[in-house]
Amino acid sequence: MTAVLKVGYRRLAPLAYPALIASVVLLALVLVPGIGSSAGGARRWLRLPGFSLQPAELAKFSLVLYLAYSLAKKREKVRFFSIGFLPHVLITFVLVLLALAEPDFGTAVALMLILFALLFASGAKVSYLVGSVLLALPVAYHLVARSPYRMKRILAFLDPWAHRHDVGYQISESLMSIGSGGVLGLGLGDGRQKLFFLPEAHTDFIFSIIGEELGLLGVVLVLGLFAVVLWRGIRASLNATEAFGAYLGLGLTVLLSAQAVVNMAVAMGMLPTKGLTLPFISYGGTSLCVCLASAGVLLSISQSRGGFLRPTTGGAR
Amino acid sequence: MEIAATGLCAPKSRAGAPGARIDLVLLGAVFALGALGLVMVYS
């Protein structure tokens, strides 16, 4: 985080295309048998000497960097379908396809959210955005209906207690964790669910353990801290001096806060289970490095005192 | 409604002040989340 802050976000601009190409290559490498390593039915990691790397986490950061750079470069032309809309959608689509092949539905959703947030903020036509969502809906339905494991997750989401001994096990254990915490929680380290009852207690479902050990107070604290990250991230983007900083800040704020909201909603049974980590809190080296680098970029943008995205008075351009 | 049409994307003439202070509120929130994560994962 400190390194990114010292380097400054402007020096990241020339890295936009190389980072995007590297992400595509790494995501493709994960799919190669013998190179990619699988766990929990998904092939998501590259085992390197001493550590493992999750390219999907890098891909989210690379996409934000690329979109911010490209949209800032195109500026007024963003409103044109063939210049501002189609190239960005196609490149995001390549990353989404690679993420789905792992399979990693959570990352695919996060990539789409980043794309739409940045296209909307940069002034792309809303009709294009709405149209592409309507076109994507049947594809999403097909992806869910065709995949037995996704269909099971939907069933578990709709009625976790009816499936609590098979597909709904994780979510029903998660709900019991949060419920047993009460207002003040059982006390730090006194949680019982992490003793092998709740799978992924230290990564995707750490929010449930916070609910169990620290209770409603802990949950409100975490929600409050993410609200601060969202507020200050948007503030930094609004204060950016130029388009690249504004879009980069906005993209990273969306990335951090959307992941947090989706992870917490999954733990509370409000969304079907997805493999998304809770930023800054979940165990996982690549995710933590990317989140801290994102925070470093946001802090770097926060040093600007511009107002590129702020509304102008009287419509003067 | 398009954002560009409302002037939301219009640049302002204010230049960025070099050497401005970083956002300590954001830094504090990130550190607090990280510390909570460390405590939760390793407790």
Nearest to A5 among B14, B22, B41 (CB): B22
Q: What is the ipTM of this complex?
A: 0.81
Cα–Cα distance, A63 to A69 (Å, whole number):
10
Chain A residue with CA closest to B13: the answer is A306
* Interface contact A188-B16, CB threshold 8 A: no
Chain A residue with CA closest to B24: the answer is A299
Regions of chain A with pLDDT less than 50: 314-317
pLDDT at A253 (0 to 100): 95
Nearest to A123 among B3, B20, B28 (CB): B3
pLDDT at B17 (0 to 100): 47
Task: Say which DSSP state B13 is in.
Answer: S
Determine the distance in angstroms separating the CA of B37 from the nearest CA of chain A, rounded to an integer.
Answer: 4
Chain A residue with CA closest to B29: the answer is A225
Cα–Cα distance, A270 to A251 (Å, whole number):
24
Contacts of A226 in chain B (CB under 8 A): 29, 33
Structure tokens at A201: 């207690």
Contacts of B12 in chain A (CB under 8 A): 306-308, 310, 312
Mutate to test the interface with A, among B3, B8, B14, B33 (most CBs of A within 10 A): B33
> What is the mean pLDDT of the segment spanning B13-35?
75
pLDDT at A116 (0 to 100): 92
Determine the distance in angstroms separating the CA of A257 from the nearest CA of chain B, rounded to an integer.
Answer: 12
pLDDT above 80 for B32:
yes
**Phi–psi pair at A26, nearest 5 degrees:** -65, -40
Cα–Cα distance, A76 to A78 (Å, whole number):
5
pLDDT at B15 (0 to 100): 40
Contacts of B41 in chain A (CB under 8 A): 202, 206, 281-283
pLDDT above 60 for B4:
no
pLDDT at A277 (0 to 100): 86
Q: Identify the three-state secondary structure at position B42.
A: helix
Q: Which of A95, A7, A27 is nearest to A301 (CA)?
A: A7
Determine the distance in angstroms separating the CA of A46 from the nearest CA of chain B, rounded to an integer.
Answer: 23
* Interface contact A226-B40, CB threshold 8 A: no
pLDDT tens across A167-225, in order? 778 888 888 888 888 888 887 777 777 766 777 767 788 888 888 889 899 999 999 99
The kind and range of the H/E element at B41 are helix B24-42
Contacts of A121 in chain B (CB under 8 A): 3
Mutate to test the interface with A, among B6, B23, B25, B31 (most CBs of A within 10 A): B23
Q: Identify the three-state secondary structure at position B30.
A: helix
* Interface contact A304-B20, CB threshold 8 A: yes
Chain A residue with CA closest to B14: the answer is A306
pLDDT at B19 (0 to 100): 54
Determine the distance in angstroms separating the CA of B12 from the nearest CA of chain A, rounded to an integer.
Answer: 6
Query: Checking DSSP bridges between strand A36-39 and strand A51-53, what pairing results, if any?
Result: unpaired
pLDDT at A196 (0 to 100): 66
Cα–Cα distance, A130 to A152 (Å, whole number):
29
